[in-house]
Structure 1
Amino acid sequence: MEESLSLKRSIIKYQDTQLLETEDEIVIEFPLTIMINGQEFATMVCSPFHLEELVIGFLASEGVIRFRKEIKDFKLDIGAGFAHIELIQDKFVSQQTFSKRFIGSCCGKSRQFYFQNDVRTAKTSMSKTKITAEQCIQLMKKMQSESIVFKQTGGVHNAALCSSDELIVSRTDIGRHNALDKLFGYSLLNQISVKDKILVFSGRISSEILTKAAKIGVGIVLSKSAPTDLAIKLAEDLNITAVGFIRNGSFNIYSHPERIILENNEEESK
């Protein structure tokens, strides 16, 4: 079904000192405006797939809803690029709160959130999940092996929600935040508990991505790329294990290493 995320386009390719006419697979970019109770809330630029998951995950991430049942009516107008949401409670949803910058401390710790809604919705992880080093490597391999659109276009981010040894669901989008919101939306729509799950991600672990993971509620974030310093600080404060550079059988653990164990340690604990 992912072929709808890209299309073929005629291009000119330079190769071996020559200009050649050929075709390339181009990822599709789609603007989607979210209307809440008749008022414009936000416009997202995304991949036009799993849009209900995307919108629900985004609204939950921003603290507008906590559960799918809080939405009375949900209508997608793909042709016009709109998602019309009617909430059960006709509450006012402020764009200013959604976008207003906030930098402050929380619970005596230096949690440097950029936006006010992050303070309300980012959760300290209570996850007891532990995984082996080899499981980290295999989960990354499994996600990458399913990344068909990335292999075709190189223009999307991939994310997966996993148990310790298998992928539960993977999602693709041109926006790295969107891919995570789709996972969040999927878990809400299917009533999946995420506190014991693992987030596997293709891109850099920025502070925004780490905050998004905290909003979803996972305790372990695995990435094939690097983290930022602020992401590591947030991971330490929010009790999240951040693992990066999962490549060629190795990786780096940047916070809460107690959740990553060696295979022989796991056997001894049984």
Structure 2
Amino acid sequence: MFKRITCTRIGGESLARDAAEETPVAVFVNGRHLTTVTLSPGGFEDFITGYLYTEEIIRSADEIESVRIEENRISVITKNVFKRVSVKKTILSGCGGAVSYIDTRKLPAIDSGLTVSVPEIGAAVAALTAPGPLEAVALASGGRAVARAEDLDRHNALDRVIGRGLRESLDFSEMAAVCTGTITSEMVRKCLIAGIPVLVSTGAPTALAVEVAGETGLCIVGFAGTPEMAVYTHPERITGMEG
């Protein structure tokens, strides 16, 4: 995921540093171009499985008939080869496109009795890869990371771990997603599609992410692993908060 490059520091010294690699990848489904994404190299089968699932193009990994991965192209054939596909948009347009909003009534609501303890959150955060140029996401159960991925973009990393979970038949309703960086409304949407009830980050959520999560039953925890850790939505899912 890294390439050694040469750069010049202020003062004239030449040195070599690792730079994260990025690969533009065209995604084709049933012979039609769906989108082009920029990914870290490798792990494309996990990514495409999770991506197609969170875009609601497939409902399970079993709906994928075949995946062909080339250097800059992922070609997927689904079992329903005549199904027309498109990318979902988090922000929806209102009347005449004059208003943008998220209609939470069209998003799934969380249906899970999962609770997560503060020590389990700490253990899951510790299992993330050390901070660096890539974003990290893990699926955690009981404080243990059961799937983990890194990517340039945390949304792609989230798709990667969801894809791994689908391929390994994991029960998302009993897991928390733990990530680095800002929690966005798009990450909330992906967790809702997968039925993941708790989303934890070492960073902060956006105001829109908090609004959507609050209306749909998703618990958001921000600044995990720091003294500033706080629960933004549905604190009933977090135990051991009393100090």
TM > 0.5: yes
Q: Would the alpha carbon gap of residues 214 and 161 (structure 1) be closer, same or farther in structure 2, given more than 3 Å must change?
A: same
Q: Is the 8 A contact 1:139 1:167 kept in 2?
A: yes
> Is 1:216 paired with 2:182?
no
Q: 2:58 maps to which residue?
A: 65
Q: Given the alignment of the two structures, is residue 89 of structure 1 paired with residue 80 of structure 2, yes or no?
A: yes
Tell me, yes or no, if the aligned pair for 1:232 and 1:255 is still in contact at 8 Å. Answer: yes
| In the alignment, structure 1 residue 29 sits paired with structure 2 residue 25 | no
Match of 2:172 in 1: 194
The code of the aligned residue for 1:21 comes to: S
Correspondence for 1:54: 47
Given that residues 29 and 85 in structure 2 are in contact (C-alpha distance below 8 angstroms), is that contact kept between their aligned partners in structure 1? Answer: no
Please state how far the C-alpha of 1:119 moved relative to its aligned partner: 7.0
1:264 Cα deviation after fit: 8.1
User: 2:235 maps to what in 1?
Assistant: 257
Matching residue of 1:129: 114
Structural mapping, 1:238-257, within 5 Å: 238-257=216-235
The total of aligned residue pairs comes to 238
Between the aligned partners of 1:99 and 1:246, the Cα distance in structure 2 is: 28
Q: What is the Cα deviation at residue 66 of structure 1?
A: 0.9
Displacement after TM superposition at 1:249 (Å): 4.0
Task: Give the structure 2 partner of residue 268 of structure 1.
Answer: none
Query: By how many angstroms is 1:127 displaced?
Result: 1.8
The residue identity in structure 2 corresponding to 1:178 is: N
CA contact (8 A) 1:62 1:98 kept: yes
Gaps of at least 5 residues in structure 2 are 95-100
How far off its partner does 1:263 sit?
7.7
Query: Structure 2 counterpart of 1:53, which letter?
Result: D
Letter in 2 for 1:93: R
TM-score by length of 2: 0.90
Query: Corresponding residue for 1:10?
Result: 6
Q: Which residue of 2 aligns with 1:108?
A: none
> RMSD of the alignment, in Å?
2.3
* TM superposition shift of 1:262: 1.2
CA distance in 2, matches of 1:100, 1:242: 18
Distance 1:243-1:99 versus aligned 2 partners, 3 A rule: closer
